[in-house]
C-alpha cells in the first residue's frame, strides 16, 4: 500500500521458482525501505511475516504505525 492507493509489486505461483525468486527479492527490498509484510488470514486476523511465504494468496506490505 502506497501513495497511489496500492501497487502490485510481484506475482508468483508455488510452482514458478523464477517468479517466486523475483518476488522474494522485491519483498526484501521493500522491507529494507521499512515496509512490513502482512498476510490477511480472513475476518479479523492477519499475520506479520518476515519471509515471503510461497503459498500465500496475498501479501500486503504496510507502513509502520506509531503513537500520534
Partner 1 sequence: MATSQALPELAAVPWRKPTDARWLRRWGRIWHAWTLLYTVPFIAAAGGMVWLDPIAAPVALAALAHAWIIPELYAFRGASVVRPTTRGAAPGEPVAQGLLGDLLGHDERELQRETGLALERASLGVWLVGEGGALLVMPGGRRVHCFCVGVTDPELPPSDRVAHLLLALREDEEGFATVANHAFAGAPWRVRRRLPRPMRPALDAARRAAE
Binding mask 6-45 for partner 1 (x = CB under 8 A): x---------------------------x-x-xxxx-xxx
Q: Report the Cα 34 to chain-centroid distance in Å.
A: 12
Q: Which is nearer to partner 1, 22 or 40 (CB)?
A: 40
Q: What is the DSSP string of 9-57?
A: -----TT-HHHHHHHHHHHHHHHHTT-EEEEE-STT-EEEESS--TT-S
- Does 49 bind partner 1 (CB under 8 A)? Our answer is yes
Q: Which is nearer to partner 1, 10 or 40 (CB)?
A: 40
- Does 3 bind partner 1 (CB under 8 A)? Our answer is yes
Report the alpha-carbon distance of residue 15 to residue 45 in Å, rounded: 27
Residues that bind partner 1 (CB under 8 A): 1-6, 34, 36, 38-41, 43-53, 56, 60, 62-68
Amino acid at each position: 500500500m502506497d501513495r497511489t492507493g496500492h501497487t502490485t509489486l510481484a506475482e508468483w505461483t508455488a510452482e514458478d521458482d523464477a517468479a517466486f525468486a523475483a518476488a522474494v527479492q522485491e519483498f526484501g527490498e521493500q522491507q529494507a525501505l521499512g515496509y512490513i509484510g502482512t498476510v490477511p488470514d480472513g475476518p479479523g486476523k492477519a499475520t506479520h511475516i518476515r519471509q515471503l511465504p510461497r503459498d500465500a494468496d496475498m501479501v500486503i506490505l504496510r507502513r509502520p504505525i506509531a503513537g500520534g
